[in-house]
A and B are shown apart, each in its own frame.
Chain A
Amino acid sequence: MSEWESVIGLEIHAQLATASKIFSGASTAYGAAANTQACAVDLGLPGVLPVLNHEAVRMAIRFGVAIDAIIDHESVFARKNYFYPDLPKGYQISQFENPIVGKGQISISPAEGEIKQIGITRAHLEEDAGKSIHDQFPEQTGIDLNRAGTPLLEIVSEPDLRSAKEAVAYARKIHSLVRYLEICDGNMQEGSFRCDANVSVRRKGDGKLGTRAELKNINSFRFLERGINYEIERQIELIEDGGKVVQETRLYDSERDETRSMRSKEEANDYRYFPDPDLLPVKVSAADIAEIRAALPELPEQKKQRYINALGLSDYNAELLTANRDTALYFEAAFAEGAADAAQAALLANWILGDLTGALNKAVLDINDSPIAAPALVQLVARITDETISGKIAKEVFEAMWQGEGSADDIIEARGLRQITDSGAIASLIDEVIAANPEQVEQFRAGKEKVLGFFVGQVMKQSRGKANPGQVNALLRDKLK
C-alpha cells in the first residue's frame, strides 16, 4: 500500500441547453459559421447591456434541487475582470458571492458495493467566452464569438475525491444527472461538458492539504482519469525527490499523456470580482423552488431504488442501468408496453447490460439507435423464461435479431431452435451417450462427480444445444446410478 493519498476536487462546466444565450437573444446552436451567432450584446459593443435569460436560472435551480442543495432566495451576478481577445467585454459575467446553488451532495459508486457521498460546494451561472482560432490565418489569430454568452453551470465539488477512479465516477454521475434533468446535452466532443481537476497529494494521515495543481479543460472521462493519474505520480515523484509542488494551472496533453505548466500562481490574474451593476440580484421564491421540485423527473438515484425494491434488481445492475438515462429509458420501455413483467426484469437487465451493450459498443451505436428495440428484446427474454429456448440458444437468436433476420419467435421457428423438453427424446439421447462412453461411466460410478459435466456436454452436443439442460442433468443422474 502506498503511503500517499491524493486529494481531488472537480470543477465541471455544463453548458445549459437553453435555446438562446444567457444575456442575449442570440442562438446557442453549435456549429454555425464563425461570428454568425453573436449579436451586439455578445460582441460587447459600447452601450449594450445584458438581460438575464430566466430559463438558465430555472435549469440551475433544477440541478440544485436534484442534489438537495441550499438555494438562497437572492443570488448575485458578478464581473470577473481579465483581458483576453475572445472575452469581448474584458470581463466575464459570473457569480462570486451568493451563487445560485449552494452546498449539496451526490453519492457515487466507484466500484461494486461501494457507496461514497461527495460534497458539492456550489454551482454558479456564468457566460462562456468565445474561441480563439490559431490555425487558420498565418501569423494571426481569429476570433469566433458564437460561443460567447452561452450559459454555463459551473459545478464545484469539495476535495472529497481520493483517486482518479473516484473522480471519474463523480464526473460520470454529474454527467448522467444533468442529462436526466435535461439541462445539458452532455456532448463532450462539442465542449458541452468539460472538467477542471484540482489535484494534490499528501502523506496518509497528514491533516493538511498539499499544494494543488489545476488541470484545465479536460473533455473526456478517459483523459480525466489519465490526466489525474499522471499528475498524482508527477507530484509524488517530485516530493520524493526533494522538490515542492507549486500552485499552477496545467494542461493535460492527451497525445503525449502528460501534463505541463500553463501559468503559475504569480502569473495568475487578480480578477477584481464585484457585483455587476447592470444586472439586478436574482430573486428566487420558495414557491419557485417548490414548483421546480414538483416538475422534476425521476432521478437516477430514485430510479435505482425503484429497480431494486419493485423489480428486485441487484444493486449493481440497478446502478449500471440508471447511469445512463437512455439505457434506463430503454429498460423501462419494456415495462411501459406491458411486454415484460417483474419476473423477467433481472434477466432483461442482464441482456441489456451484457449482450446488447457489448454489441452496441462494438458497432459504436447509441442505445437509441439499437437495431433491436426494447419490445423485441423482451420477446427474446420471454422465450427463455418460458423455456422455449435455453440461454445459450438465445445468444444465437440475439445475433440473428441483430442482423435483422426478424423477431425472436420468427428466428426460433425458422431455424428450428425450440428447446427439446420431451423426456423420452432426451432419455434416448442420454442412452446413446452412455453406450458410447463406458470408460467415463466407470469413472463416475467410482465417485468422480466431475465426469457428469462431460456427459451433459455430450448430450447437449447431440441435441445441438436444444435439450433442456435441467432435464438433461436430472435424467443423467438417474441413468448413471
Chain B
Amino acid sequence: MPMTISDIRRGLVNRQFSSVEITRDYLDRIASHNPVLNCFISVTEDLALQQAATADAVLARGPGELLTGVPLAHKDLFCTDGVKTSCGSRMLDNFIAPYDATVVERIRDAGAVMLGKTNMDEFAMGSSNENSWYGCVANPWNTAHVPGGSSGGSAASVAAGLAPAATGTDTGGSIRQPAALCGVTGIKPTYGRVSRYGMIAFASSLDQGGPIARSAADCALLLQAMAGFDSRDSTSSEIAVDEYSANLEQSIEGLRIGLPKEYFTEGLDSRLASVIETAIDELRKLGAEICEISLPNTGLSIPTYYVVAMAECSSNLSRFDGVRFGHRCADPIDLEDLYKRSRGEGFGAEVKRRILIGTYALSAGYYDAYYLKAQQLRRMIKDDFQKAFDSVDLILGPTTPEVAFKIGAKTDDPVSMYLQDIYTISLNLAGLPGMSLPVGFVDGLPVGMQLIGNYFDEARLLQTAHRYQQVSDWHLQIPEAFS
C-alpha cells in the first residue's frame, strides 16, 4: 500500500529506511509505470538521489525539517533552477529555468527530495490533460479515461503511488478536479496564501498553488511548507499562516455546513449525488449541522471565468514571442514572421483559442461589454459566498458533475469541457479556499467531494476532511494495477 508523507517521515526518523532507499523505490515505480500513465514530463533521477543523500546526512543527526527526506513531484509549471520547466508546451520544451519558484524553494528548504516534473495541460489550460504537448496522462483507475486537468500528472502520480504527494496549481479547478477524478485529496488555498513567484502564469488573478496528496493530513503538511507571505509576490498575503497539522484532530461537533441548492440540480450525475449524500451523512454523524443555502449567481460563473481568465492569459502569454527564450521558428524572414511562426508552432490549439478569445474581450469597443462586465459579475459571485458565510462555516458540494470521462470524449466540444469546472471555478473568482477529497466510486471511478471555506480558513477545511478520512477509507484505495 502506498505510503503517506507521515508514514515516510516516521520510517525515516525511525531508521526503517533511508531517504535514498525510499527515493529509489519511487524512481523504480516511475520507471515501470510512467510509460503507461505518462504522469512525468521530466524525471530528475540524479538530482533526486543527490538530494536524498543530503537528506540522509541530515537525518543522521536528527529529524531535520518538516519534509526532510520525503520524495515529492512538482507540476511542470513551477520553475526549477537548472531543470526543464515546460508548462506542458512545445513553446517551453527547451526552457531550462534559471531560478526556483518560491514554492519549490520552500519545499526544498523543508527538506523534500524532487522526483521530477509532472505532466499537465498546456499552460494549465484544460480539464483533461489532453492538451499537453507531451501527450495525455492516463487515469490510474482506468487508463482509457482522463485524469482531469490541468494538474493531471500530479493527481495521477499520487493516485498510482509514483509520488506520495505533488504540487499543483488551480486557476478554475486544476487541483480539485484532477484530485477528484483520480481519487486523491487536494486543496486550493485562498488567493494570496501561496506565493505565485516562479509559477508560470495562466490567469494571474485566479492562479493559486497547492498540494495534491493521499490524505488531508498530508495536504496539511505540504501546505504548511508552501504557504506564507513572499515579498516577491505583491498579491501574497501577510496574514499569519495557521498551524494546519495542529488542528486536525479537533472535533467538528456543531460545525455548520451549507449545501448550495444550485449545486445539486440536474447537471449533476445522480449517482454522484447519492455517493455525496452518503458522505454528508458521515459528517452529520460526526456532529456537523447540515443546511441548505443558495448561491444564486452560480450559473454566471462559467461565462465570467472564461472572460477573466482568457483576457489575462492573452496578456500573460505575450512574453512567449521567440525573442529571448522558448521556441523560435527556423529561419524567420523578418520580425513579423518570427512572431507568427514561433507562436503558431509553439502553442497548441486550446492555448491559441484562449489567447484569441481573451484578445477579443480586451479589444477597443468590447472591453466594457466583456471584461468590465465580467468584473461586475465577479463581485456578485463573491458577494453570494460572503452572504452564505454569514450563516455557515463551510460549504459542501460535488467537485465535478461526473466521474472521469473517456480520453477523446469531449475534445470536439470545448463548451462541454468547460462545464466540467462548474462547481470549482466560482471559488477562484471569489478567491476562496476549496478542497476535494474522495468519497466513493461510480463505475469504478472515484468521486470527489468539495469543501469550500471562508478566506484563510484552510485549517478548518483540512480538519473537516481529516475527520471524515478517519471514519472512511476511500482515500486509502489504490487502483489494482498499481498496488
Contacts and interface: CB of A to CB of B under 8 A. Distances in A.
Contacts of B233: 49, 51
A47 B198 contact: yes
A133 to B, nearest CB: 14
A45 B98 contact: yes
A88 B316 CA distance: 11
Interface residues of B, number: 46
A272 interface: yes
Interface string B297-320: 000000000000001101101111
A48 B198 contact: yes
A466 B461 CA distance: 99
A81 B323 contact: no
Interface in A80-95: 81, 83, 85, 88-91
A270 B201 contact: no
Nearest to B99: A40
A50 interface: yes
A52 interface: yes
Contact of B205 (A46, A50, A277): A277
Size bracket, chain A contacts: 20 to 34
B308 to A, nearest CB: 9
A367 to B, nearest CB: 43
B232 interface: yes
Given A46-B92, A270-B364, A277-B312, A90 B319 contact: yes
Interface in A168-184: none
Q: Which of B95, B321, B325, B363 has the most CB of A within 10 A?
A: B321
B371 interface: yes
B69 to A, nearest CB: 27
Contacts of A273: 362
B363 A272 contact: yes
Interface in A123-176: 143
Interface string B73-109: 0000111000001010000100101110100000000
Contact of A46 (B200, B203, B312, B315): B200
Contact of B324 (A48, A88, A279): A88
Contacts of A89: 318-319
Contacts of B312: 277
B319 A49 contact: no
| Residue among B77, B232, B233 with max Cβ neighbours from chain A (10 Å) | B232
B389 interface: no
A124 to B, nearest CB: 18
B335 to A, nearest CB: 7
A90 B234 contact: no
B367 A274 contact: yes
A91 B200 CA distance: 16
A43 B324 contact: yes
Interface string A30-54: 0000000000100111111111100
B415 to A, nearest CB: 24
B315 A79 contact: yes
B362 A47 contact: no
Given A40-B99, A83-B339, A277-B205, A49 B315 contact: no
A270 B363 contact: yes
Specify the main secondary structure of chain B where it touches its partner: loop
A299 B319 CA distance: 43
A233 B87 CA distance: 56
A50 B234 contact: yes
Contact of A90 (B78, B318, B326): B318
Interface in B156-172: none
A442 interface: no
A246 interface: no
Contacts of B205: 277
A40 B98 contact: yes
B446 to A, nearest CB: 31
A48 B318 contact: no
A47 B199 contact: yes
Contacts of B318: 81, 83, 89-91
A88 B320 CA distance: 9
A278 interface: yes
A278 B319 contact: no
A272 to B, nearest CB: 4
A239 interface: no
A280 interface: yes
B201 to A, nearest CB: 7
A279 B323 contact: no
A46 B371 contact: no
Given A40-B98, A46-B95, A83 B321 contact: yes
Contacts of B367: 272, 274
Interface string A45-76: 11111111000000000000000000000000
Given A89-B318, A272-B359, 9 more contacts: A46-B319, A49-B235, A51-B233, A88-B323, A90-B321, A272-B314, A272-B363, A272-B364, A272-B367
29 contacts: A40-B98, A43-B324, A46-B79, A46-B85, A47-B78, A47-B199, A47-B200, A48-B197, A49-B235, A51-B233, A52-B234, A81-B318, A83-B318, A83-B321, A83-B339, A85-B323, A88-B324, A90-B318, A270-B364, A272-B314, A272-B315, A272-B359, A272-B363, A272-B367, A274-B315, A274-B362, A274-B367, A277-B204, A277-B235
Interface of A: 40, 43-52, 79, 81, 83, 85, 88-91, 143, 270, 272-274, 277-280
Interface of B: 77-79, 85, 87, 92, 95, 97-99, 101, 196-201, 203-205, 231-235, 311-312, 314-315, 317-321, 323-326, 335, 339, 359, 362-364, 367, 371
